[in-house]
Amino acid sequence: MVGSLLTLLTPPTSISPRFRIRPSTPPESEKGCRTRLQLQHRFIPRYVISTRVRTGRSVRGIRLPPSVTFEERRELERIIVKGLLNLKEELKGDYYPLHGSKSYEPKPGGMTREQEEDMRENHFLFQEPDSTLLLSSGMGRHWPDARGIFHNDEKNFLVWVN
């Protein structure tokens, strides 16, 4: 699974110091550095219960949250979910739009309130923004439309959408 995950995350912006990072190919240019990283964990398995890697990506042609339009956010959801639903093997899963979202046709109205609460209790799902900083930047605009979570069948690979 780590190999599949690295493909999604390459190039990462930062990785825990517990990982040894070794580029396997030189950068193609200073601007568009495309290096593949090999992670060699240094964990003692009996002490490590779980780990999390969190990253963010933007999509070329789609504005960032402070300036994204209603239609662009829906298009971004469509693009990302289409790609995620094509994942195979241990990454195969399903997409769950937030309760009240009307953007995802297969699940009009989104997930149930019970599903949403269960995901939050398990620390899978993000909260609606309530800080003045996030709200003033536009992060809560059109809430909850075109926002949701993808998780694989084992619930050990999660992707927050919008």
Q: Which residues are annotated as a binding site for ATP?
A: 50-54, 123
Contact 129, 148 (CB under 8 A): no
C-alpha triplet 98, 112, 80: angle, nearest 5°: 30
> How far is residue 27 from each of residues 14, 38, 56, 74, 124, measured CA to CA in Å?
16, 15, 21, 34, 35
**Greatest Cα pair distance in the chain:** 49
| 3 state SS of 5 | helix
Calpha distance 155→64 (Å, rounded) = 27
C-alpha triplet 73, 7, 45: angle, nearest 5°: 115
Contact 147, 101 (CB under 8 A): yes
Contact 106, 119 (CB under 8 A): no
Please state the residue numbers annotated as binding site: 50-54, 123
